[in-house]
């Protein structure tokens, strides 16, 4: 980024010029692909914003996190409590005081601070004047967000502030779930395979995936969890999604699983919608993904498939639809707010005793659509959760190498488009596989290399070996940076065949698919590994990646067949629809190979093998 004595945050080329006396100026440039100006609010309209104060001791995060999460370290498993993490990174009181003084001097009086974040409510006119901004409505495929293409922070508080949000975040957070069958037809895949179906996997698993299939795929071996161990699991729901109790009960009854309702916690005005929306379709393959429970139903049912509801399950529903909610305790949702900051702020506000040890999140954005400062602050929050021994897993995306495949800085440079937060090195990214005899890389499995985050040390050996096998590094280096964080880390079944599940009281025998299916499956297996460790008097696994790259890979099933593709000008996640203006990069793919690869990471879980490994740690 260029520095000219100012750091102005901007998104639209030609809309902003450096502001004299402003201490921070960042120019990103270019309206993100698919967005357009949709109107301007009145100056009198109310808006709620949040200011992330500059944290203390940021350099200690990586060192401390790796020390307590790497097997063999004398600190391994010594997770921190909430108060310890808060104290370690607490912003200075002088920063809090200075920023509040700045706000009050501009006539802002509705202010609330927790010492790390300051929320304030004002009108749009005052916000524009305060931040030298120009808030407007922007639209993308019917989704509207109140955003500004620029803002600036004055010199007197520039050193006290990390970011102001929501301002320039033009994300369109997506659940990594599929609308249409994707990949090669099952019959064609069968003809290509030379390896017969293993005797341990039922033939019916070749057409649809049931709880029994998952337990066969991943060698559960009849293991039974026990709530008395203290192991718990949660899953995140955004975009007005909420799992239905009735759908889970129908699913559990159908497969003979003891039904237990999950707990629900709403964040930022999230709504627990239990209304059924009947689906009308003449296809047993397609599902109505515009519905308000498709993703969430899949999450709850796949976790139930692995755990048999033996462990407590909590759904976290984070709101994000209302344009203006001037509530200092619950800052506004989209189009005024993105979900990530509010979601992680809530989790970090809770003591360890009130949080599940494992939380699955099947959502993501193109990394480049997330401003770098925002992404790095969210990633830091993910790292703080890791310090507390909470395993955070997320889907790697359903567009393989990428979908828009061009930069959004106004230059439209052809490049791969990795997914955030999978690119965060403190997050465990779950890719996808297809088939079952054996499982191979799924064509849509998201993967690649970050443009924001450098490669963590725990990945060096495995990623280095992969790069030695890249077919044409000179060709690929035009579109990605191999020195950065690689993802995914692990994988589980995603599609072809699809998962059986219930939505709106209807059983779909070939319904749920995508890496958003892989993520809750792998997360649930981790919750059972925690169950085994806690029963043995050992601490929870916590941040997983150093363990997997150090020793856990020995308990994973390496995937060395198949590939993920992308940059074809199509959006695989939305039914292979054409992306207007997208770059087409011929012949690119991530091949599954021995060891780590950007299609399936280190591989698939073998529960019994992993259990033996983690019980020795």
Within a domain: 179: no
Tokens of 139: 């639209």
- Cα–Cα distance for residue pair 449/457, rounded to 1 Å: 15
Of 115, 150, 170, at which residue does a domain stop?
170
For the segment 520-578, what is each residue's pLDDT rounded down to a tens digit? 999 999 999 999 999 999 999 999 999 999 999 999 999 999 999 999 988 876 666 78
Cite the annotated binding site for Ca(2+) by residue number: 558-559, 595, 597
Residue 287: CATH number of its domain: 3.40.50.200
Give the residue from 248, 226, 223, 246 showing the smallest Cα distance to 235.
248
For the segment 308-329, what is each residue's pLDDT rounded down to a tens digit? 999 999 999 998 643 333 333 3
Q: Is 516 one of the catalytic residues?
A: yes
- 8 A C-beta contact, residue 147 and residue 28: no
Q: Is the model's pLDDT at 270 over the cut of 50?
A: yes
Q: What are phi and psi of 428, to 5 degrees?
A: -95, 110
Give the residue from 446, 448, 441 showing the smallest Cα distance to 398.
446
Q: Is 295 one of the catalytic residues?
A: yes
Strand 448-454 and strand 570-571: the pairing is unpaired
CB count, 10 Å around CB of 107?
11
Judged on CB neighbours under 10 Å (0-12, 13-18, 19+), 435 is buried
Tokens of 535: 């029963």
Q: Under DSSP, is residue 139 helix (H, G, I), strand (E, B) or coil?
A: strand
Within a domain: 75: no
The per-residue pLDDT for 473 is 79
Asked whether residue 141 falls in the same domain as residue 260, the answer is no
pLDDT band at 171, cuts 50/70/90? confident
The per-residue pLDDT for 276 is 86
The per-residue pLDDT for 599 is 98
pLDDT, average across residues 81-100: 98
Q: Which residue has the higher pLDDT, 423 or 30?
A: 423
- 8 A C-beta contact, residue 483 and residue 171: no
Asked whether residue 140 falls in the same domain as residue 267, the answer is no
Within a domain: 80: no
- 8 A C-beta contact, residue 553 and residue 374: no
- Cα–Cα distance for residue pair 215/101, rounded to 1 Å: 58
Asked whether residue 152 falls in the same domain as residue 217, the answer is no
- List the catalytic residue out of 407, 516, 523, 564: 516
Structure pTM?
Answer: 0.88
The per-residue pLDDT for 440 is 97
- Cα–Cα distance for residue pair 344/347, rounded to 1 Å: 5
Mean pLDDT rounded to a whole number for the chain? 86
Within a domain: 2: no
Asked whether residue 146 falls in the same domain as residue 206, the answer is no
The per-residue pLDDT for 186 is 33
Please give the tally of structural domains in the chain.
2
The per-residue pLDDT for 544 is 99
Of 148, 170, 192, at which residue does a domain stop?
170
For the segment 568-587, what is each residue's pLDDT rounded down to a tens digit? 988 876 666 788 778 899 99
Cite the annotated binding site by residue number: 558-559, 595, 597
The per-residue pLDDT for 188 is 31
Asked whether residue 507 falls in the same domain as residue 399, the answer is yes
Of 170, 192, 213, at which residue does a domain stop?
170
Range of the domain at 40: 9-55+91-170
The per-residue pLDDT for 31 is 66
Asked whether residue 418 falls in the same domain as residue 277, the answer is yes
- 8 A C-beta contact, residue 378 and residue 341: yes
Sign of CA dihedral 355, 357, 358, 364: positive
Length of the chain: 617
For the segment 464-508, what is each residue's pLDDT rounded down to a tens digit? 999 988 767 788 999 999 999 999 999 999 999 999 999 999 998
Top mean pLDDT of 9-18, 187-196, 417-426, 471-480 is at: 417-426
- List the catalytic residue out of 96, 291, 299, 398: 299
- List the catalytic residue out of 162, 241, 252, 295: 295
Within a domain: 3: no
Q: Is the model's pLDDT at 409 over the cut of 90?
A: no
Strand 428-434 and strand 490-495: the pairing is parallel
């Amino acid at each position: 980024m260029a520095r000219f004595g100012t750091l102005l945050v901007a998104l639209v080329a030609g809309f902003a010029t450096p502001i004299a006396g402003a201490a921070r100026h960042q120019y990103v440039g270019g309206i993100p692909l698919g967005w357009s100006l949709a109107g301007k609010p009145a100056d009198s309209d109310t808006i709620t914003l949040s200011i992330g104060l500059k944290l203390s001791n940021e350099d200690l995060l990586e060192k401390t996190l790796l020390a307590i999460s790497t097997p063999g370290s004398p600190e391994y498993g010594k997770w921190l409590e909430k108060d310890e993490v808060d104290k370690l990174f607490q912003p200075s009181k002088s920063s809090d005081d200075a920023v509040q003084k700045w706000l009050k001097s501009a006539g802002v009086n509705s202010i609330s601070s927790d010492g790390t974040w300051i929320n304030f409510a004002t009108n749009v006119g005052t916000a524009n004047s305060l931040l030298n901004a120009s808030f407007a409505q922007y639209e993308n495929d019917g989704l509207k967000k109140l955003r500004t293409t620029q803002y600036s922070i004055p010199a007197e508080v520039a050193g006290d502030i990390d970011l102001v949000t929501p301002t320039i975040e033009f994300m369109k957070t997506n659940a990594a779930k599929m609308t249409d069958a994707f990949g090669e037809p099952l019959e064609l895949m069968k003809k290509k395979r030379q390896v017969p179906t293993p005797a341990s996997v039922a033939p019916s698993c070749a057409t649809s995936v049931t709880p029994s299939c998952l337990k066969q795929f991943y060698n559960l071996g009849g293991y039974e969890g026990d709530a008395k161990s203290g192991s718990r699991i949660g899953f995140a729901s955004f975009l007005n999604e909420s799992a239905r109790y009735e759908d889970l009960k129908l699913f559990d009854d159908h497969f003979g699983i003891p039904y237990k309702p999950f707990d629900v916690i709403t964040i930022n005005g999230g709504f627990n919608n239990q209304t059924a929306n009947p689906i009308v379709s003449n296809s047993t393959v397609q599902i109505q993904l515009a519905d308000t429970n498709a993703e969430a139903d899949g999450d709850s049912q796949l976790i139930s498939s692995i755990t048999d509801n033996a462990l407590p399950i909590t759904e976290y529903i984070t709101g994000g639809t209302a344009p203006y909610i001037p509530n200092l305790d619950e800052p506004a949702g989209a189009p005024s707010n993105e979900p990530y900051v509010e979601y992680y702020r809530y989790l970090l506000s809770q003591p360890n005793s009130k949080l599940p040890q494992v939380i699955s999140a099947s959502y993501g954005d193109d990394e480049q659509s997330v401003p770098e400062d925002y992404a790095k602050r969210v990633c830091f929050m993910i790292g703080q959760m890791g310090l507390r021994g909470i395993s955070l897993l997320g889907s790697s995306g359903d567009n393989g190498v990428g979908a828009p495949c061009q930069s959004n800085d106004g230059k439209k440079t052809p490049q791969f488009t990795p997914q955030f937060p999978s690119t965060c090195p403190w997050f465990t990214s779950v890719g996808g596989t297809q088939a079952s005899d054996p499982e191979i890389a799924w064509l849509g499995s998201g993967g690649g290399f970050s443009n924001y985050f450098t490669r963590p040390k725990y990945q060096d050996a495995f990623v280095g070996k992969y790069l030695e096998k890249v077919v044409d590094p000179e060709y690929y280096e035009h579109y990605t940076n191999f020195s950065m964080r690689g993802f995914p880390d692990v994988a589980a079944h995603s599609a072809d065949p699809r998962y059986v599940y219930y939505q709106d009281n209807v059983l779909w025998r070939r319904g749920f698919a995508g890496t958003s299916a892989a993520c809750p499956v792998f997360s649930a297996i981790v919750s059972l590994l925690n169950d085994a460790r806690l029963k043995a008097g050992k601490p929870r696994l916590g941040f997983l990646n150093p363990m997997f790259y150090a020793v856990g890979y020995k308990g994973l099933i390496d995937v060395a067949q198949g590939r993920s593709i992308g940059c074809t000008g199509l959006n695989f996640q939305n039914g292979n629809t054409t992306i207007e203006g997208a770059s087409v990069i011929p012949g690119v793919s991530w091949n599954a190979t021995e060891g780590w690869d950007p299609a399936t990471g280190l591989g698939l879980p073998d529960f019994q093998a992993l259990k033996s490994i983690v019980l020795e740690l």
